[in-house]
Structure 1
């Protein structure tokens, strides 16, 4: 790892271990689990302004769908002109094609930190204390075991699937509420994309899976509230 990345990793490690130490008298063996959930909640709370902005952008873009469709049909044989007209329309309306991705992009550094902290045996020049934490008997630093008797991975997988189901329903409602009918392909993507976190959890430490579960659950609740 490049040396300039060691500083944020060490800082996050000391912050998280301090939180675990503080929580341990109250939560016992689940101190690390609670710490991960709390840190994720704090991160998402800090990103609420981005989420609000992204949701407003998505709503504004939905209102522009009829115009976007007209431009696409009018300039379908002139891609360069189409791009200019689309950019002009978005600039005039203040919307962005990538508005909905802002909260996700902002979380990538935090997800990387969580993955790194629970993937290394040594952090900040000392043995990694975080990987000794467990959830239902499964170490937080281990990856998804294909053959295992511990229920922790099954619990996380089932909860991710449940959250993915509600997220897919929410996205389909947003598509149905848009100004133009969504294509079959768009609806299929909206149905399957939320379950990508379930696939991702199979390749990251259990701690990172907990982060994914917490943040996706937050997203579903947050979008439900903002769509009212």
Structure 2
């Protein structure tokens, strides 16, 4: 944790001349961008995988007709087809899973009063009037929705809502052109069909995340979500 804290502090010091008191917030945005750059090859692979799954749909539809009376045989046939074509129905989850450690590190870093036996100086940093270690509930208790800190969160919520709306439309369009669960996938991965139906709305849950986590972690989520939407617009065009 102390190594990670030193990384954030070093980035903040580097950005201090440009961003002043908001340098730590800018450092978190930069850190998030670096993480997303590292994960980008997985995102590209996930996009290729989705296109490959879409290309398999006619063959899977034929397997469904052929093995309509034998669900077990259908499941094996679909698995064999995916193995033959080197396609995984869950490959799209890897980019998100690989980001979780960075998110949790930020969460714990800005939730801890001490790091390595000394006071956590990062908690003193702010984004405008809102402390990076604070939460929306703290902002509501210190001036309310229209208070200085409350307005910072209002801006974040507005940004997240706008990005979520774009993501919703992009996901709906992508799923219409290239369904995420080709015929037969639901049989081999229980519950995948339900997840696919909910997926277009997932970005709106970011609003809840921003409201309950420390502001620093919220900045990570907002930056990463915005990156994801822009990335998907390019990779799935």
Shorter chain as denominator, the TM-score bin is: 0.7 to 0.9
The number of residue pairs the alignment matches comes to: 220
Equivalent of 2:11 in 9, 15, 19? 19
Is the deviation greater in 145-154 or in 67-76? 67-76
3-state SS of paired residue (2:220)? helix
Equivalent of 2:135 in 136, 143, 151? 143
Which residue of structure 2 lines up, in the alignment, with residue 121 of structure 1? Answer: 113
Shift of 1:139: 0.7
Structure 1, unaligned runs of 5 or more: 1-8
User: Are the structure 2 counterparts of residues 153 and 61 from structure 1 closer, same or farther at C-alpha, using a change threshold of 3 Å?
Assistant: same
Q: Does 1:100 align with 2:92?
A: yes
In the TM superposition, 1:163-178 aligns within 5 A as 163-178=163-178
User: Are the structure 2 counterparts of residues 69 and 158 from structure 1 closer, same or farther at C-alpha, using a change threshold of 3 Å?
Assistant: farther
Distance in 2 (CA, whole Å) between partners of 1:14 and 1:95 is 40
Is the deviation greater in 186-195 or in 151-160? 186-195
In the TM superposition, 1:79-90 aligns within 5 A as 79-90=71-82
Shift of 1:86: 1.9
Is the deviation greater in 59-68 or in 206-215? 59-68
Q: What is the TM-score of this pair, normalised by structure 1? A: 0.87
Shift of 1:193: 1.5
Shift of 1:94: 1.2
Distance in 1 (CA, whole Å) between partners of 2:194 and 2:93 is 20
Q: What is the TM-score of this pair, normalised by structure 2? A: 0.84
Give me the CA root mean square deviation: 2.5
Which residue of structure 2 lines up, in the alignment, with residue 194 of structure 1? Answer: 203
